[in-house]
Amino acid sequence: MAVHSIVVIGASYAGLGTAHYLLRHTIPALEKANSTTKYKLTLISAATHFYHKVGAPRFLASPDLIPLSKAFLPISDGFKRYDEDHFELVIGTVTALDDAEKTITVSDTYGSASPRTVTYSTIVLATGSSSESPLWSIPGSHEDTIASLKAMQSALPNAETVLIAGGGPAGIETAGEIASLFPQIDITLLSGGDRLLTRLRPAIGAAAESQASALGVKVVHNLKVKSTSRTGSQTTVALSDGTSRTVDIYIDATGVRPNSAFLPRSWLTEKGYVITKDNTSLHGPADGVYAIGDVAGYSLGGALDIIDAVRPLCSTIFADLAGPNAGGVKPQRFKQTVTETQLVPIGPKGGVGSVFGWQIPSFVVWAIKSRDYMIGKVPGTVNGDSYVKA
């Protein structure tokens, strides 16, 4: 029997959701439609554990608020229900992709094994994005991120000065968490522009600045970090106005870059994101190639660009692979939410935000996100609970 290999690269929010949906719904339907073909999914993850990076601002502030054991869960545990004929988990970092040969080179994250080659017929790119700081993403082993979080937890109680670069959610949320726990620390937040939270309307950014200021955070606009250097336990930060500051703790929350260095340059936009030819079907830059989540060119970087895309993506894959045997089933189309939707906690008691263009009060931000950074949803994310139903 012929075997069609579906490879999903990336096992964060987008990759996990896509893999579970394909295994639960798409592959069984394909094997009914094409009875002479078996379909096997290979999930490639650089790390053994899923990291709920949404909660990083609270994780780094204190070990007493949310145990790190709840933030990092083994990916393999979520896929135990699938048989080995249909699923394989490969732990390693993808270093090269040859579309002509349909092969992927995977290097061992831990350096204990030789690189291996994985072949594919269909590929889903869900590699996400990375940040300069390991606090926000897993650079390789999840143990490195845990070590960085623990180091920050240990350093904060003795710190007198903290400088945070980045006026987006990560920066403002981190400032709020630290200020709420350590009001004695002199905290400065550099927005890097003329206001905070540029994906939300100016009034919401101003409200965020007001709430942060009430906690003692000094917000400075139109000033960027040019370079940093360590001197003992402190960091000297060179700024765009020619001045410098030496602080006890420097936190880089300035943004992300797509994890796409291993891909052919012709597949990428100028900024390194994967080209999506049709944003409603999520077809990628070549036949049999699809993209979802932060690495994809269609994405605005929000959670809804993953949540709302999983089912349409998988239905597109079914339609493409089933062909004339699809039984008239038409693929769902991805409809992107373009109205502002973002929740930004500023400390444990609330924050600012907007949902589908409606500005929401602080207590709603608390109820949805600020209360516990949705830590209770982590097991369901790893287990694919949102995709039990087609």
The DSSP H or E segment spanning 58 is helix 56-59
Q: Which whole number is the average pLDDT over 78-87? A: 97
Work out the end-to-end distance of the chain between its first and last CA atoms, rounded to an integer number of angstroms. 27
Q: How far is C-alpha 232 from the geometric centre of its chain's CA atoms?
A: 32
Q: Which whole number is the average pLDDT over 304-320? A: 96
The 8-class DSSP code of residue 339 comes to: S
* Share of residues in the chain with pLDDT > 90 (%): 91
Cα distances from 369 to residues 55, 118, 125, 301, in angstroms, run: 9, 39, 28, 17
Task: Convert the pLDDT of each residue in 113-144 to its tens digit.
Answer: 789 999 999 999 999 999 989 999 987 789 99
158: phi then psi, degrees, rounded to nearest 5 = -105, 0
Longest dimension (CA), the chain: 69
Angle at 212 between CA 216 and CA 235, to 5 degrees: 65
Report the alpha-carbon distance of residue 6 to residue 91 in Å, rounded.
16
Task: Convert the pLDDT of each residue in 321-337 to its tens digit.
Answer: 999 888 877 889 999 99
pLDDT of 376 above 90 = yes
The DSSP H or E segment spanning 204 is helix 202-214
Check if the beta carbon of residue 185 is closer than 8 Å to that of residue 156: yes
**Which residues have a Cβ under 8 Å from the Cβ of 345 and sit 6 or more positions away?**
57, 173, 176, 177, 351, 365, 366, 369, 370, 373
- At residue 380, the pLDDT reads 97
Task: Convert the pLDDT of each residue in 138-185 to its tens digit.
Answer: 877 899 999 999 999 999 999 999 999 999 999 999 999 999 999 999
Check if the beta carbon of residue 253 is closer than 8 Å to that of residue 225: no
- At residue 330, the pLDDT reads 83
Q: Which whole number is the average pLDDT over 73-93? A: 97
Which amino acid is residue 224, in one-letter code? K
Task: Convert the pLDDT of each residue in 210-267 to its tens digit.
Answer: 999 999 999 999 999 999 999 889 999 999 999 999 999 999 999 899 999 999 999 9
pLDDT of 73 above 90 = yes
335 beta partners: none
